[in-house]
């Protein structure tokens, strides 16, 4: 038989809160970055040099949008990690409760 598993559900929940905190702060930074970027408009102009800078596969707009998307995905991953930790804590507690009740039933005469 393997070694028993020890787990502290409240520790998992505290860790989940940490993930939520980082997700919230990252989302706030992303919102600030988007707002700041939007408020600047398109200062590079609409001449050939401005279009070359802003448009195209390696242009500013493409890179900006990819960055926004990547950071947004990071926020989602952090929130999902928090949820997974909370779900794991709850599942562990439920399993422990079920096992304890089963053991009590099995010990009855």
The more confidently predicted of residues 77 and 97 is 77
List the domain range (segments joined by +) for residue 61: 10-36+47-102
Tell whether 77 is covered by a domain: yes
Tell whether 109 is covered by a domain: no
Q: Is the pLDDT of residue 3 over 70?
A: yes
Q: How many domains does the chain have?
A: 1
Tell whether 68 is covered by a domain: yes
pLDDT at 99: 87
Tell whether 41 is covered by a domain: no
Considering Cα of 103, then 105, then 108, then 109, what sign does the dihedral take?
Answer: negative
Average pLDDT over residues 104-109: 69
Give the model confidence (pLDDT) of 59-89 as tens digits. Answer: 999 999 999 999 999 999 999 999 999 999 9
pLDDT at 103: 66
Tell whether 93 is covered by a domain: yes
Q: In 3D, which of 55, 69, 13, 43 has the Cα closest to residue 77?
A: 69
* Domain CATH number, residue 89: 1.10.287
């Amino acid at each position: 038989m393997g070694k028993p598993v020890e787990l502290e559900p409240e520790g998992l929940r505290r860790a989940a809160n940490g993930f939520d905190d980082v997700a919230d702060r990252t989302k706030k930074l992303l919102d600030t970055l988007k707002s700041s970027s939007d408020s600047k408009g398109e200062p590079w102009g609409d001449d050939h040099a401005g279009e070359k800078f802003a448009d195209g596969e390696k242009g500013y707009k493409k890179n900006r949008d990819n960055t926004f998307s990547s950071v947004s995905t990071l926020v989602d991953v952090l929130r999902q990690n928090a949820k997974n930790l909370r779900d794991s804590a709850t599942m562990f507690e439920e399993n422990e409760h079920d096992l304890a009740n089963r053991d009590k039933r099995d010990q009855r005469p």
